[in-house]
Structure 1
């Protein structure tokens, strides 16, 4: 197992937002599932989700969050030394979203700005890479993470509709004289990449007319080739078997455990899955931060969304809280980090208008 350590990084703020439309799963799933709708909600634990209006982009959500975190931390544009944007649903296939952020926020033209194309595991990747740029430049770095999954989601697909949602976030990093050390590790199993993917629209399979036609599925749902396909059982098996063992090894190798870590912030795939994962790692449900029940599964943005929503749970002391973050899903891919969160940093979750 490779462990990546970095010292002297501080999170000045984490801001996240959900989009315009609040979806009540009890009502929205009634037509699709009938009398079984409540059973689906109980099995996933997701009661409400947020979806973007047509025309609202990933960039719109994340830039709104970036503006809030700069304002909330009294940070000027000239203090920003880099932009890292994690998304698999950019505003356009080309150019990259980070260039839009540079222009909209009035940042220097002489900074690194780039996108990272990852799904559920993306936040810890982005946090580690953004931290390295902060250390190298001595300046603050903006990490944006968000997705508009609904653009690529069939409203008739029984595997994705109950859980998937949209969200954006912005995390502001700076260097600090503190000797606190963060540790990261990463995991990739490409043999399972077809468990969660979009069949058409890449260079491998350019879109054809027939890709836009809905196909009947064995469970009574419908999906197009340009929509997200998810094998929910394969993802659950990946998390329950591979990820849980991998995270256990990670904690052992860095000398940490559920006893030494204040909180666990997992990707909010669904509430049943993260409860099982937390239990395997010996984290109580109280120490496992949650947001998926209220806002849904917004891919890698679920981690910063959860931090922004649940930060008030940190002990209000001068001591930074030690937190395990982890994302897992499409790829198949997983990431993890043991980081510190400052109770006095700026945290906010709001609804985009």
Structure 2
């Protein structure tokens, strides 16, 4: 039987950290105490004006490919999860393919599920590999969320940042992704959205991120707890078998509440949002790579990754390393 295992991880954060105090100095009506108390975020990274999601994705991808011990030409599938693509088209994945110098004609496409995007993309890539049609996939979460923030809205602009994370997923005789679950409920879209678009060269509607923070919190805690239990049930495992929980890095209070619902100590939770904020689809692979490179997440260990985002979308995967 063919399985899919993570062979390498990589990540990239652009520029220098921008602290909460730096935002105050830029004229945002907030404070370090206000941001930390409500979110746990102390700094974030913001891409330069000439840097796109594909640029961040390329660097994260190169690091993941190196960690996997393969060559770029060995990749026959690229899936990029992003809500902030370089262009309307072509896909960011196609641009990454070109920037990596891959000319093998492998498939490349984007997935748009906002903060759940990486879980969605990884799950899709796993199906391709288990079908036998592809052998090695590059799965990336890359965002430049700073481009869709209203910097006069202190309730949202302080929460987000830019970055990219990537994994190489390859065919294996040993189980890797043990179980996954994806869900969506579009009726909740008004509580977190960018309700705008482009038509005839003009912005139609509102091009900035809008969020009902309290509604998002309540929804996120419920579905993240539910979907984590779901993948454990599918795999026939219990929470006691999990070494690490790597949740979407949005808000420390959501993370704490989710861990409590699973009966997991925060000692078993990977948190990185304090130094990169909410990077949407990039947040899980960023945290995953940091856990691997720090030595916390080691071969033979088991992890749950999970995310929830605008749509509303949510999902989780149980993974053996």
Instruction: Give TM-score, length-normalised by structure 1.
Output: 0.84
CA distance in 1, matches of 2:98, 2:233: 44
How big is each residue's C-alpha offset from its partner over 1:240-270, in whole Å with a ceiling of 9 and x where there is no partner?
A: 2343234334434433232111110000111
Secondary structure at the aligned position of 1:201 is classed as strand
The alignment status of 1:174 with 2:170, answered yes or no, reads yes
Q: Is the 8 A contact 2:291 2:297 kept in 1?
A: no
CA distance in 1, matches of 2:234, 2:173: 25
How big is each residue's C-alpha offset from its partner over 1:101-125, in whole Å with a ceiling of 9 and x where there is no partner?
A: 2222222342111111121111111
- Identify the residue that residue 217 of structure 1 maps to in structure 2: none
- Specify which of 313, 316, 319 is matched with residue 336 of structure 1: 316
- Identify the residue that residue 75 of structure 2 maps to in structure 1: 80
- Identify the residue that residue 285 of structure 2 maps to in structure 1: 304
- Identify the residue that residue 276 of structure 2 maps to in structure 1: 295
Query: C-alpha root-mean-square deviation of aligned residues, in Å?
Result: 2.3
Q: Is the 8 A contact 1:7 1:182 kept in 2?
A: no
Q: Is the 8 A contact 2:28 2:151 kept in 1?
A: no
Q: Deviation at 1:21?
A: 3.6
Q: Deviation at 1:137?
A: 3.0
CA distance in 2, matches of 1:49, 1:270: 13
Shift in alpha-carbon separation, 1:314–1:8, aligned structure 2, 3 A: farther
The alignment status of 1:108 with 2:88, answered yes or no, reads no
CA distance in 2, matches of 1:60, 1:308: 18
Secondary structure at the aligned position of 1:283 is classed as coil
Secondary structure at the aligned position of 1:338 is classed as strand
How big is each residue's C-alpha offset from its partner over 1:163-200, in whole Å with a ceiling of 9 and x where there is no partner?
A: 10111122111111114551001121111111111122
The alignment status of 1:53 with 2:48, answered yes or no, reads yes
1:111-126 matched pairs, under 5 angstroms: 111-126=106-121
- Identify the residue that residue 203 of structure 2 maps to in structure 1: 207
- Identify the residue that residue 20 of structure 2 maps to in structure 1: 25
- Identify the residue that residue 3 of structure 1 maps to in structure 2: none
- Specify which of 285, 296, 321 is matched with residue 314 of structure 1: 296
Greater shift in the superposed pair: 21-30 or 286-295: 21-30
- Specify which of 132, 137, 140 is matched with residue 141 of structure 1: 137
| Gapped regions of structure 2 (runs ≥ 5) | none
Specify the structure having the higher radius of gyration (Cα). 1
The alignment covers a number of residue pairs equal to 318
Greater shift in the superposed pair: 277-286 or 74-83: 74-83
Q: Is the 8 A contact 1:87 1:146 kept in 2?
A: yes
CA distance in 1, matches of 2:72, 2:14: 25
How big is each residue's C-alpha offset from its partner over 1:269-301, in whole Å with a ceiling of 9 and x where there is no partner?
A: 111211111111111111000100111110021
- Specify which of 237, 245, 256 is matched with residue 218 of structure 2: 237
Secondary structure at the aligned position of 2:164 is classed as strand
Shift in alpha-carbon separation, 1:60–1:76, aligned structure 2, 3 A: same
CA distance in 2, matches of 1:89, 1:303: 16
Greater helix fraction, Structure 1 or Structure 2: 2
CA distance in 2, matches of 1:272, 1:335: 19
Q: Deviation at 1:69?
A: 2.3
CA distance in 2, matches of 1:113, 1:246: 28
CA distance in 2, matches of 1:340, 1:119: 25
- Specify which of 186, 192, 195 is matched with residue 196 of structure 1: 192
- Specify which of 61, 65, 83 is matched with residue 60 of structure 2: 65
Instruction: Give TM-score, length-normalised by structure 2.
Output: 0.91
CA distance in 2, matches of 1:310, 1:167: 16
Shift in alpha-carbon separation, 1:109–1:252, aligned structure 2, 3 A: closer
- Identify the residue that residue 242 of structure 2 maps to in structure 1: 261
